[in-house]
Amino acid sequence: MPTSAELITSTLTETFDLEPAEVTPERTFEDLGLDSLALVEMGLMLQERTGISLDDVPLRTTIGELAALLDGGAADRALTTAPNSVS
């Protein structure tokens, strides 16, 4: 079973045509050029794959932060209350 970071990386590279080398733990979704619509799409895809709801992922969230939240199973609770979230 892939790690959360691997799952995020594969989702981003398959869906948004990013190079795997670009998707590093310290990069934000904003750094990768994603907009709020792309984040909604990514969140829905990850929810399908993990069963964890990803509502309102902030653009300034790093790949590593999202992976840690997914690993903790608290993504839906933590991200919906995070500052700078996109609506």
Convert the pLDDT of each residue in 13-35 to its tens digit. Answer: 999 999 999 999 999 999 999 99
Mean pLDDT by 10 residues, the chain (87 residues): 90 93 95 93 90 84 92 57 42
The model's pTM: 0.77
Contact 44, 66 (CB under 8 A): no
Contact 81, 52 (CB under 8 A): no
- Phi, psi angle pair for 73, to nearest 5°: 70, 15
Any idea what DSSP says for residue 56? S
The residues facing 78 across adjacent strands are: none
